């Protein structure tokens, strides 16, 4: 996420916080961060220009020591092998939007990379 931050105005719901940053590489991409502060999941219409999706949430109660990335338990290999294609496949990092809506889990967050 780059240093330039865009004003998105009021979020669509009072339990949602959202932010938008320019990509530091300057490749015409924006990264949206959406945080759900509710005990209920939040549905967001999938943007048509979505390039990558990273949805993070706890793997159990909020006090859990484990995280899920796009529904898969995060393991140590994420940090050491991030640039390898099989890691992005393992964690289902989408290159195209497949569903009309994205679900941001309760107390979860989403990082959405969009092409401008």
Between 60 and 41, the higher pLDDT residue: 41
CB 31 within 8 A of CB 113: yes
Question: What is the structure's pLDDT at 65?
Answer: 87
Between 47 and 79, the higher pLDDT residue: 47
* Buried b or exposed e, range 60-79, using 16+ CB within 10 angstroms: eeeeeeeebbbeeeeeeeee
As separate numbers, helices (DSSP H) first and strands (DSSP E) second, the chain gives 2, 9
What is the residue-averaged pLDDT of the chain?
84
pTM: 0.83
pLDDT at 35 over 70: yes
pLDDT at 108 over 90: yes
pLDDT at 13 over 90: no
CB 68 within 8 A of CB 59: yes
What are the structural domains, with CATH classification, of the chain? 5-115 (2.60.40.1180)
């Amino acid at each position: 996420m780059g240093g330039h931050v865009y004003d998105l105005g009021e979020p669509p719901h009072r339990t949602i916080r959202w932010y938008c940053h320019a990509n530091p590489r300057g490749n015409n991409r924006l990264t949206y961060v959406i945080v759900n502060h509710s005990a209920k999941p939040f549905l967001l219409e999938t943007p048509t220009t979505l390039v990558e999706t990273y949805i993070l949430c706890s793997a159990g109660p909020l006090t859990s020591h484990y995280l899920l990335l796009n529904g898969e338990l995060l393991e140590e290999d994420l940090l050491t092998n991030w640039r390898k294609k099989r890691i992005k496949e393992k964690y289902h990092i989408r290159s195209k939007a497949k569903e009309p809506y994205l679900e941001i889990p309760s107390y979860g967050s989403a990082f959405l990379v969009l092409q401008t």
